[in-house]
Amino acid sequence: LTRGRLIGIGIGPGAPGRITLEAVEVIRKADVICTPRSENKEESIAYEIIKRWCTGKRIVAMPYSMAPDHKAREKSWQDHAQTIASSCSEGELVAFVTLGDPGLYSTFAYVAKLVRGIDSQIPVAIVPGVTSVSACAAAIGQSLAQAEETLTIQPCSQVLAKRGVWWRNFDCVVVMKIGRKLPDLVKHLHRLSLLEHTTLVTRAGFGTGTITSGSDLLTCDAQNGYLATMFVRAGVNNETGAKK
Ligand SMILES: C[S@@+](CC[C@H](N)C(=O)[O-])C[C@H]1O[C@@H](n2cnc3c(N)ncnc32)[C@H](O)[C@@H]1O
């Protein structure tokens, strides 16, 4: 590894055992560890996972706003990007840790773009991580796709906005970023008679996870939408799915 660069590190979905050897190696070598956390949370979940390897490191918490105001959100990320760019130009190895993989619905891509916008010479690299999708599929003992099956990953907002029978085109639909929309999502799937093909996995890898399927979803706690991933297997090819 050369010095003076930014590396986005995927640290897996929660269980410390699911961080890769490569991620630990880079964290150990890094001068600065950037840990994103939502402004309304005291702790960064990512930092909790990696702190055992961070003794003596400079930790830079990067709070981000969840406010609907785009301008406020952009301003805070622009400031964080400036902090990262300054460290890199001083020759420091900056590790930006992210839950799961940095390439899947992570703020890393956004931050990296801002940093390159400040200084296009800063080298940027990615250390991939185990995604929450893989961890959740493992928690319910299912494969994501096999043979000729098709798989799609969608944010909850897109699933709620779509009309028609689009899910039939995929053997496995994975829904992420559910949050407070869980009751709406469950109602939507209920209306489409899809609940019998649906499983919700929360907090996979944290040891406090839950698995809820079928009509039990109608009565599950709305809080279960956070750190939750849903699988809908109603496609044409899979053995348990509904037929067209
Ligand atoms: C902002 S995205 C980050 C995804 C992450 N980069 C990855 O590769 O898994 C956050 C979403 O990931 C999913 N997620 C993250 N950790 C999870 C976990 N431990 N169990 C279930 N879903 C999780 C949820 O759908 C959550 O809304």
* pLDDT tens, position by position, 78-106: 999 999 999 999 999 999 999 999 999 99
Query: Alpha helices of 57-166 — where are they, by DSSP H?
Result: 70-89, 108-118, 132-139, 156-161
Q: What is the mean pLDDT of the chain?
A: 90
Average pLDDT on 120-141 reads 96
- Predicted local confidence at residue 240, as pLDDT: 47
- Predicted local confidence at residue 163, as pLDDT: 85
CA 210 to centroid of ligand 1, rounded, Å: 14
Per-residue confidence at 243, pLDDT binned at 50, 70, 90? very low
pTM above 0.75, yes or no: yes
- Predicted local confidence at residue 159, as pLDDT: 95
Ligand 1 atom 21: the closest Cα is on which residue? 228
Ligand 1 atom 23: the closest Cα is on which residue? 227
Query: CB-based contacts of 218: which residues, under 8 Å, 6+ apart?
Result: 186, 190, 195
- Predicted local confidence at residue 220, as pLDDT: 94
Q: Does the pLDDT at position 171 exceed 60?
A: yes
DSSP character at residue 143 = -
Judge contact between 94 and 7, C-beta under 8 A: yes
CA atoms within 13 A on the CB side of 66: 7
Average pLDDT on 171-194 reads 95
- Predicted local confidence at residue 76, as pLDDT: 85
- Predicted local confidence at residue 7, as pLDDT: 98
Judge contact between 97 and 126, C-beta under 8 A: no
- Which of ligand 1's atoms lies nearest the C-alpha of 107? 1
